[in-house]
Amino acid sequence: MTRETRETVVVLSGGLSHEREVSLRSGRRVSQALRSRGLEVIESDVDSTLVPRLAALPGAVVFPLLHGEAGEDGALREVLDLLGVPFVGSVGSACRVAFDKSIATTVVADAGIRTPAQVALPHEIFRELGAQALVAALGSHIGFPMMVKPSRGGSALGCSKVETAAELPSAMVGAFAYGPVAVVEEFVEGTEVTVAVVDRGNGPTALPAVEIRPDSGVYDYTARYTAGATRFLCPAEVSDEVADRCAEVAVRVHRELGLADLSRTDMIITADGDPVFLEVNVAPGMTETSAVPLAIEAAGWSLGEMCADLVQAAALRGARRPLATTNQV
């Protein structure tokens, strides 16, 4: 890539979601990695100064590392498209589908990939019909144990494993604290793994699966972002055949949802070696305790090398839409 195609990389992190601090940590690490490859990097939050800042940086490529709704629901990427600014990652329309667990699960299941049984419940329905009436129906349809989580969100915020009917109402309230729709889904027993998919310009490729073993037994927010709270094994301690199945599922999810550049698919491997899709992330964490950097290292790459390649691919691809113009009076 010539210098003219990417004079500057603008790493976006922070934002106003519940995952702001994690996003800032991801942004700092990626910025350091890109600088190690000789790129000029500007770290930026998302605020009222962003648009004029980008306008003053023609030729810049944006690397979005915002986690949570503001960064992963597609809205910011559609703004970047509107401004004619090239960026790393999936377009807004694909992000909207991937970010909503109830929609993404439906699309993935329709593609023939195994998913948990799932029900999506808006807060209004839960409130109007009442917990008592719904608990029995959910227990009968989904069964216990079950998982309750916000339909839109990440980092396991608002997620609960529910063992009994008595625990369900409070778990629903916990999920609704992070969004207006909760999903209730079958709890799948097995080995939890996550598989990153990277497209460095030659098509999507799955990185080695990362096996997740939280000390607490639950991969919640604390287990994800507290050093030493979770043991990560990469490559995962599974057979080559099962590892290939996981890679195939992750690439299929990436393709079916129309994702670009980078994604991470979380799944459970059942006792019979069958991967079950849980969710997909379009802006995976890049912190010191995140799985994707581990997988990059296991693949024989460096984080800086991979991020620089993604920036190069974005620069060569250019803006998805023509540059915005100002009407002349």
With vertex at residue 258, the alpha carbon angle to CA 252 and CA 260, rounded to the nearest 5 degrees, is 95
Cβ proximity of 77 and 46 under 8 Å: no
**Continuous segment of H or E residues that includes residue 160:** strand 160-162
> How many Cβ atoms from other residues are within 10 Å of residue 231's Cβ?
11
State residue 216's pLDDT score: 66
Contacts of 293 (CB under 8 A, 6+ apart): 29, 286, 303
State residue 125's pLDDT score: 86
Q: What is the pLDDT of residues 101-131, one digit of tens each?
A: 999 999 999 999 999 999 999 998 888 887 7
| C-alpha 307: how far from chain center | 16
Q: Which two tokens stand for residue 22?
A: 């994690």
Compare 214 and 28 and report the one with higher pLDDT.
28
Domains present along the chain, CATH in parentheses: 3-89+313-317 (3.40.50.20), 96-114+189-301 (3.30.470.20), 118-186 (3.30.1490.20)
Gap between the Cα atoms of 61 and 297, Å rounded: 24
State residue 309's pLDDT score: 95
Q: Quick check: 95 pLDDT over 80? A: yes
Q: Quick check: 2 pLDDT over 70? A: no
If phi > 0 it is left, if psi is from -120 to 50 it is alpha, else beta; for residue 15 that is left
Q: Which two tokens stand for residue 69?
A: 């709704």
Residue 248's identity, in one-letter code, is E
Residue 322's identity, in one-letter code, is P
pTM of the prediction?
A: 0.89
Cβ proximity of 234 and 295 under 8 Å: yes
Gap between the Cα atoms of 211 and 231, Å rounded: 8
> What mean pLDDT do residues 197-204 have?
94
> What mean pLDDT do residues 198-217 have?
90
Q: At what angle do helices 240-256 and 101-110 cross, to 10 degrees?
A: 110
Q: Which of 105-109, 207-211, 288-292, 311-315 has the lowest mean pLDDT?
A: 288-292
State residue 156's pLDDT score: 72
> What torsion, rounded to 10 degrees, do the Cα atoms 291, 293, 294, 300 define?
150
3 state SS of 230? strand
Of 289, 325, 286, 262, the C-alpha closest to 77 is: 262
Q: What is the pLDDT of residues 301-328, one digit of tens each?
A: 999 999 999 999 999 988 554 443 333 3
Q: Quick check: 13 pLDDT over 90? A: yes
DSSP secondary structure letter of residue 64: E
In the chain, pLDDT over 90 holds for what percent of residues? Answer: 71
